Each structure stands twice: as structure tokens, then as C-alpha cells.
Amino acid sequence: MFERRLKTLFALLTFVALVLIVRAFGVQVMGRAHWEEEAKSAMEDQTTVPTTRGRILDVKGRELAVDVPCIDLAVDYRAILLEPEPKWTRNLSRERLKKRDENFSKLSRTKRSELIDAEIEVVKREIEAMWRALAKLSGQTVEEMDEQRRQIIRLVETRRRIVWFNKYERATKRDDDQNSGGAWYSWLLGDSSQNVDIDKFDVQVAEQTQKHTILPNVDYAVRNQLEREIEKYPGMELQAGIVRAYPYQSIACHAIGTLRAVDQKEMVDKETRSQQTLEERLRNYHPSDRTGRDGLEAMLEDQLRGTRGVKIAGSMGEVVREIKAQPGKDVRTSIDVVLQASIEETFKKVPFSAYADAPVDDLAMPGAAVVIDIKSGQVRALASYPTFDLNKFDELYPKLVKDRINRPFTNRATMTALEPGSTVKPLIGLAAISERIIGPQDTIECSGYLVIRGKKYTDFGRCWTMSLFKIGHHQVPSRHPHPTGFLTYADALERSCNVYFETLGDKLGVQGIGEWFGKFGLGKPTGVGLPEASGLLPDTFDGPASQERTVSWFSAIGQGQIAATPIQMANVAATIARSGIWKRPTLLADGPATESRDLHVNREALIEVKRGMTNVVSGGAGTGTAAKMSEFPVAAKTGSAQAARLTVERRSASGELMRDAKDRVIFDKIALGTHAAPNPVAPWYRAIGETESKVSSHAWMIAFAPADDPKIAVAVMIEYGGGGGTAAGTVIHRILEAALEQGYLPTK
């Protein structure tokens, strides 16, 4: 009997042991991946360690953007909620009562509850007063401050949804539908049409109990005031923070760019990518993060952004795992900030004269300049004017964003595409000679009028000499007339003859012009990495066939169906200087060699284009003598592009666009100023002509130097600057002086 019982007990113990072994095998082996993923997900409740953003350095190692310590004003998320979190409010009230009355714990439960309820109302009133005070301190309305709170709430709720989704995805082992843009994506962004109740799953994230920055980088005076009153404001804290600093303030502001708060979509995009390691998850965006808004800060976001660290604690509070924070990588840009500063300074004093012998005014004028290192394709300067102080961006934004006349936030170097005027004439000659339409030494007579197949066009197609002096290039300029009026390619460049290039444009046609302009990089972004306008090419013309011929004439002199940006035209100059080798410009000093290609331009044409462009600056009939340097020869081409009247959209007091009865936006014309009566809202917007009634042209100039051994290429565009030879030529000269001083050009 005893022996049978012993055998039964042994069998039972054996069965239990087998069950435990099978269960352990299932948990530790078959379910290993599941539990590893669950362990990873536990990081949401652990302490994260902040990181720093990498520095942006100029080509010589100077700091253009760097993180520095500061003091932020932060508020507990539970007080940010539009209705303070009840449990937190009750606990805070209880602790305040205990602190004030050491006998509080000895009171009856009913009495304690009454006192806590009353204290909760006090806490709520203090929280409301805190938000009013913060609105006043930050110069915002209470409504604007409430919207800031709502944005934080939306981001934290998005984070909760992301965490829930990641856990759900891992648990169910579903296919990677998260990148399909399906219903779950809308739900993560807060689409109420998706009937998923996250609260059923009780998902908590660290941000729900953390403090969130409300006023970053508070100044000393505000800090002192808040420190004196901080006890009055529940949930508020002054804490160590990091702010992005820009030591050179406004210099290269458009190229460097700015930061902004992360938005919901960016959080979702990062979190829902397939991720295998905890280290990868630590790079995800959190609600308090800032990301590149534009410029290099946006272009280099992945390199500059650091990886936060984490400390994972065990059940007894001990640290069981720690991953140290990794700072972002420093990036060295190709820009020389000292050269850039000199260039931006030149735009503050641009010479302007309404007509010959009129007074010359030095005006601060809007425009752009680009300098490219010819050998490497690296951009040494990417200037746009007017500028703004990067350190005061948030403070200045509400005012400057409304300045639709000066448009200080526009990066004119890459985003302003205008008719480039006569700066495209070198390309027309290169195209025509390469296509064997004309020989390098063949001539075309300029009598002042365009003549096609024996027909003289007097209404349009005239040379600028006829428009101004009623004569052709036989007599112009008076100090250096052409002996015959029959111009070679180099002659036509030196004198900027419209008739010569219109004649070639007629033979190339809009398709031929568009093809060759495209080879040199016009009509499409250069690929430098920043947002760019594509511009416009004549082969996109879709008007009546009867007008196509005139389109080819005007396009050949840079007017009408053609638009280009300063960086495109700088790269055109660099391509000519490289003897027809196109190279993609770059803003990185340490990056790989950029893409390049041979355009197979006629060799004799390249010799003539360089000779003609050199004579533009140093020849007796040159239009760009203002750019002349004593140290070395300069090759250049001027351009004056017709400009429309300056207009701005009419807006209501609330900022809404105003429209007419046909739902068209209404534009208001800005009044032209004069030397005697400048327009105070646009002092640089001046009339030209003897009667000072005409709209000034946009001034252009492209150049490379030294002409006989090119090192750098330059393009300058000045809005409403008048003649390219005077305004843009003067700026080019100053840029070459600055480049010489910084060692980018040789001395004698």
C-alpha cells in the first residue's frame, strides 16, 4: 500500500516537473523574442538622459551653430493639461497641507478630506494665475499660451499612441502595414474617426509625468522674478536646459537655418519605422525635441541630431542597464563665414543712380551673391540680403514674417528665380558654335535692329544701343566704337549686343535654347541640398506657335520665358571657367567628390567666351569695368533684366488675403521712390529715367577670376538695382577684394 502511494506521488511529481520544464522551454526559448521585445518596451518608463546637437562649423573650423547651456522655464505636464490631472492635484494638495500643518495627519479622515478638497481649488486657481503670468512674461495672449499647451498635449498623446501601437505590433506579429498610410496612421495623429480607445490599455509614457519647457532660455531678470514667486505656481520649475546659439548672429542666417519644435508627423515617422535595437529607439523624437526647420540645420538633421541615453532601473531602484547619451556629429560646411560677412556687408551700400549724371546714392538693397570654388564645386559664400539674427528668430518671427516687401526670411540665393538678362549670352554663343550654327570668328552686323532673312524688326528685337542712343554698335560706345559694326562672338560679349544673340537664338529655336540652358543646369535645382526654385526654360513655352520665334529672341538675351536663381548662375560661371565641365555645387567641406560631367562644348568657343568675358571687364567697350581688379584679370558678364512693379498682397487686419469679386487676390502697388523723395517702406525701390518714372531693372553679373587661371566663380543679383555694370559690378569688385584678402585669389 505504502509503496503504491509512493509510486503515485512520484508520478505526480514527475508530471508537474515535466509541465514546468515545458513551460520554461516555452517562455525562455519559444517566447524569447516576445519577452525581449517586452523588455525593450519597458524603456518608456525609464529615465532618459538628454543629448546635444552637433556643431556646424565653417570651412576653417569656426563655430556657426553650437549648443550652449541655459535656464528654461518648465511646467509639469499634469499642470499643462487644460484640466489639471486629478490624482496629481490631490497628492500635491495633501503634501502642501502636511507641510503647513504638522498635525494634519492626526485629523480625522473626514476633516482631512475637506481640507484637501478646499486646497485643490486653491491649487487650480494658482495654476490659472500661473498661465496668465507666463503669457504676460512671454508677450503672448492667454489664448496663444493655451494653444502652446494644446500642442504639447497633442504631442504627448501622439507619443502614447505610438507606444501602444509598437507594443500591439510586437505582440501580434502583424505585417509591417505601419508604412502603408492606412487607418492606424490617422489614429496616431489623433483622427477621431478611428474608434480605438487607448485608455483601455492603460499605456503610460514618461512625458506624462515630466516637466515640459514653456519658456526656453529665460533671461536673468525674468529668472530672478520667477525664483521669487515660484512657490505661487504649482508645477513650475526653472531647470538646466540647452539652447542653440549662433555666434555670428545674422551672418549666413539663410544658409545655416533654424530649429523648430518637432511636430506630430515627424514623431510618428520616426517611431513607426522598423527598429531592432534599443539604441535606435533612443534616436526617436520626443515632444520636447527641436528639429531643423530650414538651411543646413534641416539638411543635416540626421548627422547633427544626437542620441539620448537611458538608465533602466531594477525593482529595488538599482541601475540594471545604462546607455550613455551620444552627442550629434559636428559638420564642417564649405562656407567661409568671414568671406560671407564681407559680402553681406556690401549689400548695405550699393551705388544707385537714376540716370546719367544723377546723384549716386549708396542704398541697402535686397539681393543675393554666391561664390563657388571652381576646382571642388564647394560653395564658399551663399549670401542673401536682408538678413536676421538667428539668436532672436522666435522673437523676431511674428514681425518679420509679415514684411512682404523686404522678405527677410527668403533665401534669395536659392529661392528667387528672376530673368537673368544678358548673363545668359555666353551660353547662347557656346551653344550656337557647338551646334555649328556659326563659327567662332564669324560675324553678325549690329545696326541697332534685328534683321532676319532681310526683314528688319523695329518694334522689338532692337539692340540696347538703339533704345538708348538711336544707333547701332558701329558708333557705340563713343569712346571705343566698333570699326565695322560686324561683331564676332567675343565682340558681342564685350559690348553685350542684343542683335547678335537674338540672331543666334532665332537659329537655335526655343528647343535648342532650352536644351543648352538645361545642360548648364538651368531650369532645375542644382542639388546643393537646400530648398531651391527650379527656374524656367523657354522650351516649356506652350503659347501660340506664331509667338515661338519671338520667345527664342527674348530668351537669347535672358528675357521673357527664362528665369534663374543666383546659385544656378554662379554654377554657370563655374562651368564656363572649367571649360565646359559641369559640377554639382556642395555646401559640405568634408563630403565626397560631387557629381560632374563634360558638356562637350566646342573648344574654340570656350577660348572665345573667356576672351569676350575678360574684355567685358578690361576691354575699351566693356560693360562691366566696375569689377576690374589690379591684381589679376577678371572675366564677367553683366545683365539688366526688366522688372515688374513691386506689389504686395492686400490683407485684412486679421492677416487674411483679400480678394475681388472674381475671387482674385488683390495686389497693391508700392510707390516708386526717388533721390529727393525715397519711399520710407522701401527706400531701395527707386525710379529711373530722366523723368524718374520708370521701374528699375534687376541687376545681374556673373564672373570668374583670375580669368587666365580661374579659382572662384561668382554671381550677384540685386533686386531693382538698375544696370548690372554699376550696381552688381561694384558688388562683384568688393567680393573679389574680400576673396583676395581671405586667400582664395592670388596676389601679384
CATH 3.40.710.10 given to domain 337-741: yes
Q: Is 181 exposed, middle or buried (0-12, 13-18, 19+ CB in 10 A)?
A: exposed
Maximum Cα interatomic distance, the chain, rounded to a whole number of Å: 137
Per DSSP, the three-state class of 671 is: coil
pLDDT at 226: 83
Give me the amino acid identity at 624.
G
**Gap between the Cα atoms of 442 and 586, Å rounded:** 38
Give the lowest-confidence range in 6-20, 93-107, 426-440: 6-20
Q: Which residue has the higher pLDDT, 723 or 317?
A: 723
Asked if 115 and 104 count as a contact pair (C-beta separation under 8 A), the reply is yes
Report in angstroms the alpha-carbon separations of 642 from 422, 469, 548, 716: 11, 18, 20, 16
pLDDT at 13: 65
Residues in the chain: 748
pLDDT at 175: 46
pLDDT at 44: 44
Helix or strand holding residue 596 (H, E): strand 596-598
In the predicted structure, residue 186 carries a pLDDT above the cut 60 = no
In the predicted structure, residue 179 carries a pLDDT above the cut 70 = no
Fold of 45-332: Penicillin-binding protein 2a (Domain 2) (3.90.1310)
**pLDDT band for position 29 (cuts 50, 70, 90):** low
| Residues 77-127 pLDDT 10s | 999 999 999 999 999 999 989 888 888 888 888 998 999 999 999 999 999
| Residues 369-413 pLDDT 10s | 999 999 999 999 999 999 999 999 988 988 999 899 999 999 999
Asked if 408 and 382 count as a contact pair (C-beta separation under 8 A), the reply is no
Q: What predicted TM-score, i.e. pTM, was given to this entire model?
A: 0.85
pLDDT at 741: 95
**Gap between the Cα atoms of 594 and 588, Å rounded:** 10
The pairing of strands 450-452 and 455-457 is: antiparallel
In the predicted structure, residue 324 carries a pLDDT above the cut 50 = yes
pLDDT at 413: 98
Neighbouring C-alpha atoms within 13 Å toward the C-beta of 322: 5
The whole-chain average pLDDT of the chain stands at: 86
pLDDT at 276: 57
| Residues 456-482 pLDDT 10s | 887 777 777 777 777 777 777 767 888
Give the lowest-confidence range in 55-64, 69-78, 176-185: 176-185
| Residues 545-583 pLDDT 10s | 778 899 999 999 999 999 999 999 999 999 999 999 999
**Gap between the Cα atoms of 36 and 32, Å rounded:** 6
| Residues 627-662 pLDDT 10s | 999 999 999 999 999 899 999 998 888 788 899 888
pLDDT at 450: 86
DSSP state letters, 525-565 = ---SSS-----B-GGG--S-GGGHHHHHHHHHTT-SS-BB-
In the predicted structure, residue 163 carries a pLDDT above the cut 50 = yes
**pLDDT band for position 271 (cuts 50, 70, 90):** low
Give 542's contacts (C-beta < 8 A, 6+ positions apart). Answer: none
Among 469, 468, 550, which residue's Cα sits nearest to residue 502? 550
In the predicted structure, residue 721 carries a pLDDT above the cut 70 = yes
pLDDT at 272: 65
Q: What is the dihedral of CA 138, 140, 143, 149, to 10 degrees?
A: -30
**Gap between the Cα atoms of 646 and 405, Å rounded:** 8
Taking the alpha carbons at both ends of the chain, their separation in whole angstroms is 118
pLDDT at 561: 93
pLDDT at 435: 96
- Delimit the domains of the chain by residue range: 45-332, 337-741
Asked if 639 and 367 count as a contact pair (C-beta separation under 8 A), the reply is no
Query: Matching CATH topology for 45-332 and 337-741?
Result: no
Q: Is 474 exposed, middle or buried (0-12, 13-18, 19+ CB in 10 A)?
A: middle
**pLDDT band for position 604 (cuts 50, 70, 90):** very high
| Residues 521-543 pLDDT 10s | 999 999 999 999 999 999 888 88
Q: Which residue has the higher pLDDT, 189 or 251?
A: 251
